[in-house]
Amino acid sequence: MSLSQDIKRKTAELGFDLSGVTDAAPIDAEQAKAFARWLEAGFAGDMGYMGRNLQKRLSPATLLEGAQSVIVVGLNYTPPKLLEGHTSATPTGKVANYALYEDYHGFVKRRLRDLVASLESLIDVEFKFKICVDSAPLAERALAARAGLGFVGRNHMLINPELGCQIFLGEIVTSLKLEPDEPIAADCSDCRKCMDACPTGALRGDGQFDARRCVNYLTIEHKGPIGPELAAKIADRLFGCDECVLVCPYQKDAPACTNEQFKFHDDRGNLDLKEILNMDAEMFGATFGDSPIKRVGLEGLKRNARICLANEERRC
């Protein structure tokens, strides 16, 4: 069994649904140019960090001296079907599927450390490594596609034909020279369902993604007020949005996450808006301390709740 095969076996034991290997070469020149054009057009909005350390983002070898390979892992976060058909007597706001689980960053990082420890016990050669879980300037979707985990679709998500596009990613940049995997032969063909489903037109007809209009960006990354046009289109989405994911044909029959160690909160799919508005900092921390929802902060969540309530009142 090759070392790459050992890695795949161990990643499966650690609870990852996907794993692959690619080299540490820079991402494709056309992809790099497209990313530069995206930044120049201002589509990143307030996410100035996307343009920082650009060379590192485009070339994983710059993150680690002597880097030769990148191990990429994927964790399916499709929730169980029990969330469908929610009803409530009080106004509620929807929470995106990824935030129904514990914060994935720590979960994935701990298991990647376990993978490194396993590699250290398997081989006698010393090697360098850097673990990245959305914490380093890395074009992780492009690398995941190159490592054979899936392809980047029109919704700008990594899509795996079997698991769909609700997949958390993590990487290990390493000095080990590993046998790379081949990219898969799949694409969106002529499907445009995600573009048609986007409530704000963030998925543009020219293929560009205008993050400034994306509900995920508006309700999570954007820190200021939200204008009336976009606020109305947020509807009842309190934290994030899944529209471009849920309509994807590859997502239709995707299996639910089966990792029992990955903590799932079945009571967070729809949150009481008035309870959110009455929260203090202590209650917010106690309720969402282990959740991605903490990223937006209490005031950001209250801003979103007020928007959802105003939209609900307009519907009535």
Cβ atoms 292, 98 nearer than 8 A: yes
The DSSP annotation for 15-32 comes to T-SEEEEEESPPPPHHHH
Which spans in the chain are helix H?
A: 3-13, 29-40, 54-58, 104-122, 140-146, 193-197, 215-216, 228-234, 243-246, 249-252, 273-277, 281-288, 297-315
Residue 114 is a catalytic residue: no
Q: List, in order, residues 6 or more apart from 57 with CB less than 8 Å away.
A: 35, 50, 137, 138, 139
CA distance 226 to 306: 11
Q: How many Å apart are CA 158 and CA 164, to the nearest integer?
A: 8
Catalytic residue among 6, 28, 114, 134: 134
Q: Are the C-beta atoms of 307 and 234 separated by less than 8 Å?
A: yes
DSSP 191: -
Residue count of the chain: 316
Distance CA 129, CA 131 (A): 7
Beta bridge partners of 18: 74
Q: Residue 316 burial (CB < 10 Å; 0-12/13-18/19+)?
A: exposed
CA separation for the pair 21, 149 (Å, rounded): 9
Residues with a known catalytic role: 134
